[in-house]
Every structure is written in C-alpha cells, then in structure tokens.
A and B are shown apart, each in its own frame.
Chain A
Amino acid sequence: MSNDRETLRVALFATCLIDALFPDAGRATVQLLERLGQRVEFPLEQTCCGQMHANSGYFEVELVGRYVDVFSRYDAVVVPSASCAASIHHQHPMIARAAGDEALAVRAESVGSKTYELSQFLIDVLGTDDVGAYFPHRVTYHPTCHSVRLLGVGDRPLRLLRNVRGIDLVELPRWDECCGFGGTFAIKNPDTSAAMLADKMDAVIDTGAEVLCAGDRSCLMHIGGGLERIRAGVRTLHLVEILASTEDEYRPDRAPARSQPGAAPARSQRGAAPAATEEPPG
C-alpha cells in the first residue's frame, strides 16, 4: 500500500479524551503523520466513538451513526487509541445490530475495516517502523489490554520505540496485567481499581523509568494520576508524543507542561502551514 500513500485521504479521529484533555497527543499525531508525508484531515463533526457509554451499558447508536457518517469518505482513519479503535471495530456493528439497524452495522464494519490504531497505521499502511524519532530518556511501555487482546497490535509499538534514537527502553515487569482503569470500572469499583493501580505503579517505579508511555491516553490518565498523587517522579506520555519527537522539531521533554497559546510546534514543510494565529475564539 506504500505506493499509494501520497494519494491516501487520511483522517484523524482524535477521540473525545484527547480532544478534551490531552490535545498534545492529538498535535503530536498530526506532527508525526505530516513528517511522514501524510496530509491529515480532522473533520470537525467528530465527537466520540461511544465506547465509554457502551462499556457502561448505554448503547449510543447515534454516536455509531455519527462516526460512520463523518469518516466513511476517507481512505483511512487514524486513531491514537487502541481502545477506541477496538470499540470501532467490534462494538459499532454490535450496537447497530442491537438497535436493529443492519444497514448501519454493515457500514460500520466497512468504516471499521479502514480505521487504524496509530501503530497499525504506521507499520501496516505506511510500511515503516522507524519514524526518525529522537527521545533521549529512560522509557517503559505499558501495553494496554485493548491494544494487546482486543486489537492485537502485537509488538508494533515496541518495534517503533526500539527505533527511536537515544531512547533507553526498559521492559515493564508483569506488563500483561491490567492497570485497573477499565473506564467507569474505576468509579464503580474504586477499591479494586485502586488495588490494581497500586501494583501497576509498583511495576512502573521498579523500572526506574522517567517516562511511562502507552497507546491509550485513558489508561495513562489513570496510572499518571496515581503516580502524580504519590509524587513518584514518573511522567506519562502517549506513544505518539515520543514518536513525534525529533532533535529539531517537537520535544515533549523540553516543551512546557501544558500547551501555551502561540507555542504551537513548528511544522514540517510538507504539512499545511498554519493559517491563523490570532487570539483564541470564545
């Protein structure tokens, strides 16, 4: 497929969580894909895949319809979340069928088949496991349950990380254990979730890593929130923030903790130039 990559029409599905709370991961995704020669579109009609609702028992067939409507016109949809990608693959057709909408289920399967989790898009579609990143830090990687067991990304994220220049990548002990996030599980079963979190934090701290990364910002919000609470001195970054990092471009390790207005990352020549830099609306 790599021959067609210049002509692919690629959309970013940022996920509601990254859109709302972790825009740096969304920006890093755009940065990385543009560096790799992709022109990325972000259709503004997108909102949420509905996974949080579905996993809590509320089947929002309208959100499935919305996703299908927004993204059916693209050749590929990139999702910087294994959990959301898995939900789009597996749950969207199920939710449509539960609502008795077979036509939507078929369309959902079709859009699902061209929806790619980030590491799958990089390796399976773009055909690269070396994205030219530079990140001189001790890093450990938590393979999230949905990336490993639902989506089957295998070792793709690790292959990408191993090719990052300067990285000191250390294996996370008991990496196959769930961190205890589980969406609303963390709220509905707070004590069990906290017990699982404690064991995961132990494993992370054991590695001596400065940075914990994963392909799901949701699990990182949970583990990172716990690490921050106990002042563990370990920060969490989405996998894509490391892959987007280069010596002269985006450096999350040097960037301020939060994005500042006007401190948008420098853009590559191939990407669309920023057109508007005026004061934020609203």
Chain B
Amino acid sequence: MSSGETIWTDDPPFPANAKRAVNNAQLRRNIRKATTTIRERRANLVGEMPDWQELRTSGAAIKDEVLRNLDRYLEQFEAAATGRGAQVHWARDADEANSIVASLVAATGETEVIKVKSMATQEIGLVRALAERGIAAYETDLAELIIQLGHDRPSHIVVPAIHKNRAEIREIFLKEMNDAPADLSDDPQALAEAARQHLRRKFFEAKVAISGANFAIAETGSLLVAESEGNGRMCLTLPDTLISVVGIEKLLPTFRDLEVFLQLLPRSSTGERMNPYNSVWTGVTPGDGPQNVHVILLDNGRTNVLRDEVGRQALRCIRCAACLNVCPVYERTGGHAYGATYPGPIGAVLTPQLVGVEHASELPFASSLCGYCYEVCPVKIDIPTVLVKLRHDAVRTGRHPVEGALFGAAGAAMKGRRRWTRALRLAPLMRFARRGGPPPLSRWTSVRNLPEPPDQSFRDWWVRQHESAREVIRERKRQ
C-alpha cells in the first residue's frame, strides 16, 4: 500500500526544513505579504456575518453527521450518481486510485489530459503516476500551472504558488512556457493573460479532464467544484471524459447543506462572499458536457483517522486554508517545510493521522499551540487539542528516550512537596548557563538569555513570611 505523496518521504523533518525556510528572506516576505492580505480580507467578510458562529456550529454538525454514518452516505451517493449515469469506483489507497485513473484514460486512447486544481490528486501523486504510464497531465489552475512549469511543489492548499512573487512567476513563464511573449512584464494582468493564451489551446484540444470535488452530495449524487478563475469550469464542461477523485469525507447529506458550506468556504478560503465559479454536475446530462463521467471515491488513510475519537474531527476539513493564513508558524516557514501535501495547522493534524504518526512524528510539534487556527476554522476543528493528542501518540512510540527521561525526572520532582521544595533550591545554578550551556539548553540560549534566578523560591519566601519560627525549624528538620 502507498499513500502517494501525502508525505514527501525524501524531505528532512520539519525543524530542519523550517530552519532553511526562516532564513530565506524572499520566501518570508512573499508569504507574510500574501497571508496578511488574505487574513484581512477574511476578517472583514466574516465580521459582516451576524450568524458566523452559528454557521460554524452547523458546518461542524453536518460534517460530524456524515462521519458518523459514512458507510450509509457513501452507498447513497454511489446509488444516486450511478442512477444518473456516472460510474463510481472505490480506491483504498493512492496506488489503486492512480491505477484506476490511468486505465480510464488509457481506455479513451488519449495521452494528454487537463486537470482541475485538486488536493486529492496532489495527495495521491497522480500527475507523476500518470507520467510514469506515458500520460501527460496539464494543470490548468493558474497557480498550479506556475508550480508545474517551475518543477516545484505547492506550498498552500488554496494558493499553491503563494511562495512565489510576480517577478519570480514572470521568470518561470519566460523560461518554461514556450508560447510566452518575449516582452512579458511582471504585471499580474499580463501574467494572467499569458497563462490564459497558453491554456486556451489545451482546453479546446483535451478529450479528458481530471478533477477533485469540494463537495459530494449523497442525496443527489452531485459533485461541486468551487473556484475563482473559470479554468476549472472549462475542464468540467468541454472534454468528453471527466474523472473526479473525491476523498470519502467530502460528502454532504443533502443539496440543501450547501447553503451552509457555500457561505463558510469562500469567506474562509479566499476572502470572498461567493466563489466566482461554482460548478455542479450530476452524472451525465445527455448532449451537454462530458458524456463519460467517473467518480473515484478515495480512502487513502481516511478510515484510519475515523478510528480516533479525538482526531477524527480533522476529517471535517473543507480545505479552506484559513488556518494556514493565520498560523504564525506557517507565516515564517511556508508550506514546503511541512514536507507534505497538506501543510500548516490542518496538515499537522491530518498528515500524521493519514500516514501513521510514526511516519510524521515531528509534525504535531510544528505548532506553538497559539490557537488561532481553531478560532478561524469554519468547521470548528479544535486543532490544538488534536495536536496535543497526536503528541501524546508520538511520544508513546518511544523514539525520544532522553527527552522522555527528562520529562520523567521533572514529573517525579513535582510529585512530592519536599522533593519539589528541594528541586527549586537548585534554581540559582541557572546563573551559570544564562547565555550558553549544552543542548538542548543551547537551543534556548542561542537567541535569548535565561532569567536571572531568584535567591529563593516563592514557597521559601512564603514559608518564612507565614509560618511561625517553630514551623520553619520543623520544616528544616523534616528535610
């Protein structure tokens, strides 16, 4: 079994990746600028909603209902979609999903396909898997196109090229896009126009498109893709064959539930009242749009997540990336540091659960637990609590025996009044390591002093102030 590119196994762990990222001045500036902008837009639009908290509660409740009865909703979706002419496939993992897509494409005789931006296909590493089978898949989302042309990887769930500024994008286009105008400027409109001309031909030539879906409606068998550019809609309407890879947690019970999510998603993701393009399709509509419609329902670790009572709330995620945009860690490290398809706070809780915490044991620690992610999450995923739970799981794998021993010693000292009172009298020793000391202390003292220790602990002061002289003497004798 392979989880595809859920984690990038060739990457070093988060702290090492992050060290490189925080020293990249260009990256720091690009990400700070972009996340600050989206964060402010979101805050303004959420602020105008009097029932935002109720919407969040509804969103969480609807998703929890789906997760509790996932088996039933999946079969309902399959029946409804099949009844409307779609073919539904089931994929346990990335390899199965990739094989199904590849054989469906092969059956059409095509060797080129166009793609709608989709996290599920990133997760399974579809583009690479298709390339290995001689099928070229072209990304049509502007940011994904930039990533693909730049031989790069996405670093954000909604804004995959957030780590690139327009000067860098211009250079990528000039170098990698054969039909880019020679006098291309870094004006955003000029860049978009160049991409538009480049993609237009692909849209008209392609016979097969591959997408994900933001939502899958169990009641009707419909899929929905929300996007900003309209490139997705080109892919969803022009080709003969449409193949959609959909995580099993994407289900909503009824069409009516979109009322909640189409308010939550655009405000949280791009800071818009409504996504410019919402495309919904249900199986095949004779004579209109793709006549050969496939849906691949993807597990790839999701049922493992479902097993964990605390962690399963991560499956409510609607991939809005609001948590990335407010995360102080993400803002300094960018997305690549997480070494995974899903970066940021949601990635830190989702990735270890999808692949097993032993394969991503540093990710739950990639957070200062500031709680901003939980505050903005449109489906109320309590990310800090899940992070702490996953840290608990991670330390139980026993991979850090020295750390475990240190915490054990500290814990032991805290389990007795006399032991603790004596331990605190060692504090003055800190005076000798305020600016240095061996690791792991040096990781603190490399940029900050330790405090000047006091002459006495609070409790020693208290005892002297509040106990009678006899009490003090008795205390001394006891020790």
Stretch of B63-71, B100-108, B366-374 lying at the A interface = B366-374
B414 close to A190 (CB less than 8 A): no
A253 at the interface (CB under 8 A from B): no
Q: In the complex, what's the smallest C-beta–C-beta distance from A229 to chain B, in angstroms?
A: 5
B465 close to A261 (CB less than 8 A): no
CB within 8 A of A23: which of B415, B435, B449, B454?
B454
- 22 A-B contacts, Cβ less than 8 Å apart? A19-B457, A53-B410, A54-B388, A56-B395, A57-B392, A66-B415, A146-B371, A149-B370, A149-B374, A177-B328, A178-B328, A185-B369, A187-B444, A191-B15, A192-B18, A196-B368, A226-B447, A229-B435, A261-B455, A264-B461, A277-B464, A281-B479
Whole-angstrom CA separation of A54 from B458 in the bound complex: 24
A275 close to B465 (CB less than 8 A): yes
Known: A42-B466, A192-B18, A274-B466. 4 other contacts (CB 8 A): A176-B372, A185-B365, A186-B444, A276-B471
The residues of B that contact A20 with a CB separation of less than 8 Å are 424, 427, 457-458
CB within 8 A of A178: which of B372, B407, B408, B447?
B372
CB within 8 A of A282: which of B28, B449, B479?
B479
A137 at the interface (CB under 8 A from B): no
The residues of A that contact B365 with a CB separation of less than 8 Å are 184-185, 188-189
B22 close to A191 (CB less than 8 A): yes
CB within 8 A of B368: which of A18, A145, A191?
A145
| Residue of B15, B368, B374, B421 with most partner-chain A CB within 10 A | B368
A44 close to B459 (CB less than 8 A): yes
A110 at the interface (CB under 8 A from B): no
A167 at the interface (CB under 8 A from B): no
B465 close to A21 (CB less than 8 A): no
B456 close to A261 (CB less than 8 A): yes
A55 close to B369 (CB less than 8 A): yes
Q: Which chain A residues numbered 233 to 259 have a C-beta less than 8 Å away from chain B?
A: 257-259
Q: In the complex, what's the smallest C-beta–C-beta distance from B392 to chain A, in angstroms?
A: 5
Q: In the complex, what's the smallest C-beta–C-beta distance from B384 to chain A, in angstroms?
A: 8
Whole-angstrom CA separation of A66 from B463 in the bound complex: 20
B367 close to A185 (CB less than 8 A): yes
0 or 1 for each of A86-99: is its CB under 8 Å from B? (1 = yes) = 00001100100010
B394 at the interface (CB under 8 A from A): yes
A47 close to B328 (CB less than 8 A): no
Interface residues in B, total, Cβ within 8 A: 81
A191 close to B18 (CB less than 8 A): yes
B392 close to A98 (CB less than 8 A): yes
B385 at the interface (CB under 8 A from A): yes
Q: In the complex, what's the smallest C-beta–C-beta distance from B35 to chain A, in angstroms?
A: 11
Closest residue of chain B to A83 (Cβ to Cβ) is B369
B415 close to A62 (CB less than 8 A): yes
Q: In the complex, what's the smallest C-beta–C-beta distance from B72 to chain A, in angstroms?
A: 29
Q: Which chain B residues numbered 409 to 465 have a C-beta less than 8 Å away from chain A?
A: 410-411, 414-415, 417, 420-422, 424-425, 427, 430, 435, 440, 443-444, 446-465
A94 close to B385 (CB less than 8 A): yes
B454 close to A258 (CB less than 8 A): yes
B461 close to A228 (CB less than 8 A): no
The residues of A that contact B430 with a CB separation of less than 8 Å are 21
The residues of B that contact A3 with a CB separation of less than 8 Å are none
The residues of A that contact B257 with a CB separation of less than 8 Å are none
B458 close to A281 (CB less than 8 A): no
| Residue of B328, B403, B410 with most partner-chain A CB within 10 A | B328
B375 close to A57 (CB less than 8 A): no
A14 at the interface (CB under 8 A from B): yes
A282 close to B459 (CB less than 8 A): no
Whole-angstrom CA separation of A222 from B475 in the bound complex: 34
Q: In the complex, what's the smallest C-beta–C-beta distance from A204 to chain B, in angstroms?
A: 13
The residues of B that contact A63 with a CB separation of less than 8 Å are 411, 414-415
The residues of A that contact B404 with a CB separation of less than 8 Å are 58
0 or 1 for each of A166-190: is its CB under 8 Å from B? (1 = yes) = 0000000000111011111111111
A278 at the interface (CB under 8 A from B): yes
Whole-angstrom CA separation of A221 from B444 in the bound complex: 11
Q: Number of contact residues on A: which range applies?
A: 35 or more
CB within 8 A of B388: which of A66, A91, A228?
A91
A215 at the interface (CB under 8 A from B): no
Q: In the complex, what's the smallest C-beta–C-beta distance from B233 to chain A, in angstroms?
A: 37
The residues of B that contact A48 with a CB separation of less than 8 Å are 414
A24 at the interface (CB under 8 A from B): yes
Q: In the complex, what's the smallest C-beta–C-beta distance from A46 to chain B, in angstroms?
A: 8
Q: In the complex, what's the smallest C-beta–C-beta distance from A239 to chain B, in angstroms?
A: 17
B29 at the interface (CB under 8 A from A): no
Q: Which chain B residues numbered 289 to 341 have a C-beta less than 8 Å away from chain A?
A: 328-329, 332-333
The residues of B that contact A94 with a CB separation of less than 8 Å are 385
The residues of A that contact B23 with a CB separation of less than 8 Å are 191
B469 at the interface (CB under 8 A from A): yes
B476 at the interface (CB under 8 A from A): yes
B178 at the interface (CB under 8 A from A): no
CB within 8 A of A60: which of B388, B394, B411, B460?
B411
A269 at the interface (CB under 8 A from B): no
B388 close to A27 (CB less than 8 A): no
CB within 8 A of B451: which of A22, A30, A180?
A22
Query: Given known contacts A47-B414, A261-B456, A276-B471, is B476 in contact with A281 (CB within 8 Å)?
Result: yes
* Minimum-distance CB pairs A-B, first 4: A182-B368, A225-B448, A57-B391, A149-B371
The residues of B that contact A193 with a CB separation of less than 8 Å are 368
A272 at the interface (CB under 8 A from B): yes
The residues of B that contact A183 with a CB separation of less than 8 Å are 369
Closest residue of chain B to A146 (Cβ to Cβ) is B371
B14 at the interface (CB under 8 A from A): yes
0 or 1 for each of A64-86: is its CB under 8 Å from B? (1 = yes) = 00100000000000000000000
B415 close to A47 (CB less than 8 A): yes
B19 at the interface (CB under 8 A from A): yes
The residues of B that contact A50 with a CB separation of less than 8 Å are 411, 414
Query: Given known contacts A55-B388, A193-B368, is B452 in contact with A257 (CB within 8 Å)?
Result: yes
0 or 1 for each of A1-32: is its CB under 8 Å from B? (1 = yes) = 00000000000001010111111101100100
The residues of A that contact B471 with a CB separation of less than 8 Å are 276
Whole-angstrom CA separation of A187 from B447 in the bound complex: 11
The residues of B that contact A111 with a CB separation of less than 8 Å are none
B189 at the interface (CB under 8 A from A): no
| Residue of B14, B375, B447 with most partner-chain A CB within 10 A | B447
Whole-angstrom CA separation of A27 from B455 in the bound complex: 14
Q: In the complex, what's the smallest C-beta–C-beta distance from B15 to chain A, in angstroms?
A: 5
